[in-house]
Amino acid sequence: MKLAFIGTGKIIADALFAIEPIKEIEKTAIFARPHSKEKAEAFAKQYNIAEVYTDYEKLLTETAADTVYIGLINSAHYSYAKEALLHRKNVILEKPFTGFYKEAQELQQIAEENKLFIFEAVTVLHNEVFYEMKKNVEKLGTVRMALCNYSQYSSRYDAYLEGDITHSFDPAYYGGALYDINVYNIHYCVGLFGEPKDVTYYPNIGPNGIDTSGTLVLVYDGFSAVCTGSKDSDSPGYVSIQGEQGFMKIDSKPNIASELTTTYVDENVKERVRDAAGAMVRATITDHFIATEQHHRMTQEFLDFAKIIDEKDYEAAYELLTESVTVVSILEKARSKAGIKF
């Protein structure tokens, strides 16, 4: 893969560092708006990137890169991705994929009709812990509950309270807790259980109409998934899946999961006892999984993208793409029901 980087923000800095050990990816070009040209040139020097552009059209026309990684504000995702696809470039698009469902559908259609690749860069789907969850969910029996919490006090929240509205808290740029942070929880649920039957969002709304935190309820056959995301308060993060025969849990922020504990009933032990609260206690087996340590939390997703593109694995690519489009549909339904307007 020959990769062009679109943007100069923190996520681009993270991506450049994450890709350092990946020999399959050639850092080919970087784009910045004119006022950020010096920053792009500094990145180019640091990471040996030959091409620096301040004209996006020119980059897409001239660059040797076959793929662009778009690390811009949420509201720019769709237009930059569409233009790249129309120039026959593959696209890696930061989460959230797009702000609107119709936009996601259009990008999917363009990519599939032209045999191009477009990915959402969401780390949870490219993590050994998530792969282990998919393998272990059957051990839990009939699933009865999913509880996810990703909460962290935003470094920009104090400024927001003072009236200094940055992109991440601005509805004009598709900010807010649902799209910025709860999206990780939604990907766990859709990745494990598919598209829900119904969606309802209960947000805490700030003075400019954006959700600073909130709880999303996804309704499935036989159970609900409750997803909490917060930028205005802090809490230990977790993902917990409960079934009639056991449970599994991540005890960390969902986007940096490194361990998974799975506890399930030992069918070879039939004895039952009651605990002090009166609950039935069954004999169980506990599996503890620790993921391989990575260079950076984003490294594995870029390895996966490079492999899929190089091997032209359209089946894997379009499976991921369908999930991303489904998640955008959920985000839009939730936001619309809650009265949050972009």
Question: Hey, is 144 helix, strand or coil?
Answer: strand
What tokens were used for 189?
């649920």
Give the burial class of 328: count Cβ atoms within 10 A of its Cβ; 0-12 exposed, 13-18 middle, 19 or more buried. Answer: buried
Residue-level pLDDT at 261 = 98
Longest dimension (CA), the chain: 71
DSSP 207: T
The H or E element spanning position 109 is: helix 101-113
Contacts of 119 by beta carbon, 8 Å cutoff, 6+ apart:
91, 92, 93, 301, 305, 308, 317, 320, 321, 324
Closest to 145 measured CA to CA, from 238, 270, 271? 238
Residue 70 pLDDT exceeds 90 = yes
Q: Which region holds residue 70: left if phi is over 0, alpha if psi is between -120 and 50, else beta?
A: beta
Inter-residue contact 151 to 182 (CB < 8 Å): no
Q: What is the pLDDT of residues 273-307, one digit of tens each?
A: 888 888 888 999 999 999 999 999 999 999 999 99
Inter-residue contact 176 to 311 (CB < 8 Å): no
Residue 315 pLDDT exceeds 90 = yes
DSSP 295: S
Domains of the chain from N-terminus onward: 2-121+305-325 (3.40.50.720), 125-292 (3.30.360.10)
Q: What is the pLDDT of residues 71-89, one digit of tens each?
A: 999 999 999 999 999 999 9
Instruction: Kindly report the pTM of this predicted structure.
Output: 0.96
Question: Hey, is 153 helix, strand or coil?
Answer: coil
Q: What is the pLDDT of residues 111-161, one digit of tens each?
A: 999 999 999 999 999 999 999 999 999 999 999 999 999 999 999 999 999
Q: How confident is the model at residue 240 (pLDDT cuts 50, 70, 90)?
A: very high
Residue-level pLDDT at 276 = 84
Q: Which amino acid is at 111?
A: A
Residue-level pLDDT at 274 = 85
Cα angle 151, 95, 339 (rounded to 5 degrees) comes to 65
Q: What is the pLDDT of residues 168-226, one digit of tens each?
A: 999 999 999 999 999 999 999 999 999 999 999 999 999 999 999 999 999 999 999 99
CA distances from 227 to 31, 177, 201, 210, 216 (A): 35, 11, 9, 18, 5
For the residues 321-335, what does the mean pLDDT come to? Answer: 98
